[in-house]
Structure 1
Amino acid sequence: MSESLSGRHIPVVVIFAPTASGKTALTRELFSGKGSHFILNAEIISADSQAVYKGMDIGTAKPEPEFCLEIPHHLIDLVTPDVQFSVADFVEQADAVCRDIYSRGKLPVVCGGTGFYIRNFLFGLPKTPKSDEKIRSRLKERIAEEGNQALYAELETVDPQSAAKIHVNDAYRICRALEVFYTTGKKLSDCVLENKLREQYKFLFLVLEPPRDVLYERIRQRVDMMYEAGLEEEVAALIKAGYTKDSPGMKAIGYSEFFEEGWTKEKIREAIKHDSCKYAKKQYTYIRDIPESIVISYNNTDKDLQNIAGLVGNFAREAGFSIDLKA
């Protein structure tokens, strides 16, 4: 292991890519013995804010159990859909897993499309005011009585920068942003991250950008495949288990649409496609202007794979890992 990467500098590959862009196929090619490129002792830390929920498998496109046997995955199936899993929870657990993976002589690979998670992992959590339980409780009551849209519109008025980064269905983050404003008179968007990567890590940060039209078509096809795999039955089973539209996990795209009153099955399907495409565009909001990021035009070609494999291979070698190139 090189001196610069010893001690407190844990090497971590971070791969950001939007939904349906081919992250699973890419990581299999790079890190699995069944891949075509090289065998590298790596384990994957999922940066997907919905994959943490148990029972939400089809709509979140979790990696298949067989793939998880090829390459160990972490931060999947952690909590039930009625539990709020925050960005602070993600950073804390990702830190612990990275230390564990590296201590066992393997390379941590953080991979996913939740830019909010990835940005906070790279920079560390911003310092925000402590919670005011009275204000938080009142906001929770209001969002239950008035609905997400009403409080989201309120947030757009008092803190439009934060609102632009929060989905209208994300009740937890809407309330948190309003709580900060009503507690301090300041915007949550003013509680910015340091523009400096955390020093306990050595990062290789790759941002994959598929052609927009190709990505949207892949998203629409994926939604159809989810239906074929039993998405409707999965949602019905979750509702039967007692989860509602107010359960944090059920606010995700692919689940929340099923709670819209009066919608036909076809309208729900089309809404999931529309919302997913809109979200894919929004995912890049959080990973703009990150120092040392490497942006790659990605179209799942052999050339793309060669490029990424070269970057990962050089980084891993510098970190002291042995690379087993395939013929």
Structure 2
Amino acid sequence: MQIPVEPPPARGRAAAPNARRSGVAQRPRPIAAVALRRRAGFRGPRGCARLRVAHRRAIRRPRMTASHDPRPLAIALMGPTASGKTALALDWAARLDAEIVSVDSALVYRGLDIGAAKPSAAERAAVPHHLIDVREPWQAYSAAEFASDARAAMDQIAARGRLPILAGGTGLYFHALLHGLSDMPEADPATRAALAEEAARRGWAALHAELAALDPQAAARIHATDAQRIQRALEVWRLSGRTISDWRLASAARPRLPFRVLKLVLAPAERAVLHARIERRFEQMLADGFLDEVRALRALPGLAAHPSPLELPAIRAVGYRQAWEHLDGAFDAAQLRDRGIFATRQLAKRQLTWLRGELDARWFDPLRDAAELEHALRLFAGARLRAPRQGV
């Protein structure tokens, strides 16, 4: 089977023919799987996983051409945690006269700074950021609220003649904004409390089994330990008598975001590279005072008085839950490090699984594909893109 893919930007002796340099559209060259293996140098058992990544990236790289689409431009910079999205978004924002809209469910909460890798005060002063520090850590913030707030921010940015960069890794937020949500029931505190009480008695695995009997599609997407999503799926069923999968299917025909969005995924081709970055970042967070930050959160009246702080979305965030349990005396500092790194790896795995469903997104390895990434950005943004800053 042959997969049509766009060839990478020409370099050196492999420079494109005159027709390509002149801007004449070229038919994408078919590249057979064996040719793809040979070109990428994938040999032996270890090469198989890398080949799968290359295939995913190849089939997700549609041809980039100039467009007369009148809609304003936006960039969605997606990727797993620790993939380098923040640094790249800051660089591009400076070069594109852009503003950054955070798509991160931890950054919306005040006080979640070190453990959430929140942009520094200096970075936020240099480039306008949106949807950071918009809720207290004991408050709820739904995907529907995010989509509404993000859409308003994008409209305001475009009205100023600037370009919105959507940067983050929360798949549910991206889905709500880019594809829309159905009119499924809003969160109901009484129903959620009843489900939380059931989970305390029976365990979330039992509630996941109940969900599997009602909605096999949702249960297949949701891990048995993902309490928040299990709770939401069962809540929707109990409030409406319809499964969450039915509601999402009904939303497929809803109007989409009125922006022309370039979807880019940053993901190291080698999983070991991503794991090493995650490990280094978590250790740096601990060195930067992450535990002191969590101690300060525990002292806040809204959290100190809460009957079940570990059930709050803010405290369930990766790293924060493990630090909270460590401070409760559940395990020692060495286990905190190991559990925090493991939980972050699992988060990255879930993020990558969701990202593979974005079929029109283009995948790039941030460590290997800098030239191709720059090429894609230049084709999309055109004359508004300034040259890279020195040292970036």
Normalised-by-shorter TM-score class: 0.7 to 0.9
- The whole-number CA distance in structure 2 between the counterparts of 1:47 and 1:254 is 18
- Say whether residues 1:182 and 2:238 are aligned partners: yes
Deviation at residue 129 of structure 1 after TM alignment:
4.2
Q: Is the 8 A contact 1:158 1:187 kept in 2?
A: yes
Deviation at residue 135 of structure 1 after TM alignment:
3.8
TM-score (norm 2): 0.72
Q: 2:53 aligns to what? A: none
Q: Is the 8 A contact 1:30 1:309 kept in 2?
A: no
Partner SS, residue 124 of structure 1: coil
Aligned-residue sequence identity (percent) comes to 36
1:70 to 115, 122, 126: 126
Structure 2 residues without counterparts, runs of 5 or longer:
1-65, 304-308
Deviation at residue 159 of structure 1 after TM alignment:
3.4
- Say whether residues 1:265 and 2:265 are aligned partners: no
Letter matched to residue 226 of structure 1: M
Summarize the Cα distance change of 1:25–1:134 in structure 2 as closer, same or farther, 3 Å threshold.
closer
- Say whether residues 1:286 and 2:348 are aligned partners: no
Q: Is the 8 A contact 1:17 1:209 kept in 2?
A: yes
- Say whether residues 1:220 and 2:285 are aligned partners: no
- Say whether residues 1:239 and 2:298 are aligned partners: yes
Q: Is the 8 A contact 2:178 2:257 kept in 1?
A: no
Summarize the Cα distance change of 1:19–1:134 in structure 2 as closer, same or farther, 3 Å threshold.
closer
Summarize the Cα distance change of 1:131–1:24 in structure 2 as closer, same or farther, 3 Å threshold.
closer
- Say whether residues 1:103 and 2:171 are aligned partners: no
Partner SS, residue 14 of structure 1: strand
Deviation at residue 228 of structure 1 after TM alignment:
0.2
Q: Is the 8 A contact 1:41 1:106 kept in 2?
A: yes
Q: CA RMSD in A?
A: 2.7
Summarize the Cα distance change of 1:257–1:289 in structure 2 as closer, same or farther, 3 Å threshold.
closer
- The whole-number CA distance in structure 1 between the counterparts of 2:179 and 2:228 is 22
Flag the structure with more relative contact order, 1 or 2, with Cα contacts below 8 A and sequence separation at least 6: 1
- The whole-number CA distance in structure 2 between the counterparts of 1:76 and 1:212 is 29
1:61 to 117, 129, 145: 117
Q: Which moved more, 1:134-143 or 1:274-283?
A: 134-143
- The whole-number CA distance in structure 1 between the counterparts of 2:165 and 2:205 is 36
Q: Deviations over 1:131-183 (max 9, x none)?
A: 66754452244346656555345435543543454466754433221022234
The 4+ residue runs of structure 1 with deviation greater than 6 A are none
Q: Which moved more, 1:111-120 or 1:166-175?
A: 166-175
Partner SS, residue 264 of structure 2: strand
Deviation at residue 186 of structure 1 after TM alignment:
3.5
TM-score (norm 1): 0.85
Letter matched to residue 157 of structure 2: I
Q: 2:195 aligns to what? A: 139
Q: 2:256 aligns to what? A: 198
Summarize the Cα distance change of 1:158–1:315 in structure 2 as closer, same or farther, 3 Å threshold.
same
2:265 to 207, 217, 224: 207
Letter matched to residue 228 of structure 1: A
Q: Is the 8 A contact 1:5 1:202 kept in 2?
A: yes
Deviation at residue 239 of structure 1 after TM alignment:
0.8
- The whole-number CA distance in structure 2 between the counterparts of 1:130 and 1:251 is 21
Deviation at residue 74 of structure 1 after TM alignment:
0.9
- Say whether residues 1:252 and 2:340 are aligned partners: no
Summarize the Cα distance change of 1:161–1:225 in structure 2 as closer, same or farther, 3 Å threshold.
farther
Letter matched to residue 295 of structure 1: W
- The whole-number CA distance in structure 1 between the counterparts of 2:273 and 2:370 is 17
Letter matched to residue 80 of structure 2: P
- The whole-number CA distance in structure 2 between the counterparts of 1:49 and 1:235 is 17
Summarize the Cα distance change of 1:137–1:289 in structure 2 as closer, same or farther, 3 Å threshold.
closer
- The whole-number CA distance in structure 1 between the counterparts of 2:222 and 2:140 is 15
Letter matched to residue 138 of structure 1: A
2:82 to 20, 36, 45: 20
Q: Is the 8 A contact 1:13 1:312 kept in 2?
A: no
Deviation at residue 3 of structure 1 after TM alignment:
9.3
Q: Which moved more, 1:180-189 or 1:205-214?
A: 180-189
- Say whether residues 1:300 and 2:367 are aligned partners: yes
Equivalent residue pairs, number: 312
Summarize the Cα distance change of 1:128–1:182 in structure 2 as closer, same or farther, 3 Å threshold.
same
- The whole-number CA distance in structure 2 between the counterparts of 1:188 and 1:16 is 25
Q: Deviations over 1:193-236 (max 9, x none)?
A: 52788151211111222121100111011110000011111111
Summarize the Cα distance change of 1:75–1:131 in structure 2 as closer, same or farther, 3 Å threshold.
closer
Where do residues 112-191 of structure 1 align in structure 2 (5 Å cutoff)?
112-129=168-185, 135-143=191-199, 148=204, 150-166=206-222, 171-191=227-247
Q: Is the 8 A contact 2:79 2:267 kept in 1?
A: yes
